[in-house]
Amino acid sequence: MKKSFQLKPVLLSMAVAGSVALTATPAAVQAGEISYNAAVSNMYLWRGINISNPSPVVSGGIDYDFGNGFAIGTWASSEGAFDGSSEWDVYGSYGVSLGDFGFSIGYAAYLYPYAGKDMTTFTSDGGTMLGDWIVGLSYQDLSFTAYIDAETKDHGNNKYYTLDYSIGAFGLHAGYNTNDSSSAEYTEFKVSYAATDNLSFAISKAQGDGAKAIVSGLTGGTGEEAENPQLQVTYSFTF
């Protein structure tokens, strides 16, 4: 699936993070500077859904800010969406800001190494790659982000929208997944708290048939557990 990562340099508060889902919050970088992040969490919380249950996950990433609005990065996780495979993401973005307002546009490819399949080919063509165009708007501590499915042959024209607001160490998040098929739609909400620069907690709740369908596809069960509240604990750092 994909962590809800933040496209830099403008929308550092969006998603989801991890956001955050499972991601270290990027450190502020200077023009032409590279940054690294790593994290461990009790779960992979993807768009309000625990897709690693019952396994904890480890992740890490590298980001480069060119200092002119362009940024690129890569991120990897020990747990992916295809039978517990690992996940490797590559992404790039361009962002501009004017006073308290910000705009960012980018692309993310989500790659899943999986036996017998090509991770650089879209799933609709027999591979395991997924992709999103990502557009973000922000005003002070409020941000809106749209994840638009880049794979035109599959997934029912899927789109995922998020609204995030930060209040000191607290973060409020709402997400809505929509699809041409109403059975794939669901909403999710999250409240997060950064106890320290490294330790964070999040309580998340997904609701809808789409969430149950995703978990059912991963577990082979009914997927009813997708609507259970989730408590995520993450320890992350940057260097």
- What are the structure tokens assigned to 172, written together? 């409020």
Note the pLDDT of residue 145: 98
Look-up of token digits 């508060």 = 13
User: pTM, whole model, 2 decimals?
Assistant: 0.86
The per-residue pLDDT for 217 is 86
Residue 55 has pLDDT above 80, yes or no: yes
Least confident of 21-25, 40-44, 54-58, 186-190: 21-25
Q: How far is Cα 192 from Cα 204, in angstroms, rounded to an integer?
A: 8
> Residue 84: pLDDT above 50?
yes
pLDDT at 152: 72
Say what the pLDDT of residue 126 is.
83
Strand ranges inside 8-151, DSSP E: 33-41, 45-46, 49-50, 57-65, 70-77, 87-98, 101-111, 130-139, 142-149
Q: What is the mean pLDDT of residues 225-234?
A: 97
Taking only Cα atoms into account, the Rg of the chain, rounded to an integer number of angstroms, comes to 17
Q: Please tell me the predicted confidence (pLDDT) of residue 155.
A: 61
pLDDT band at 114 (very low <50, low <70, confident <90, very high): confident
Q: Is 105 exposed, middle or buried (0-12, 13-18, 19+ CB in 10 A)?
A: middle
* More confidently predicted of 16 and 51: 51
pLDDT in tens, 172-207: 999 999 988 778 899 999 999 999 999 999 999 999
Q: Give the DSSP letter of residue 117.
A: B
Integer Cα distance of 174 and 144 in angstroms? 10
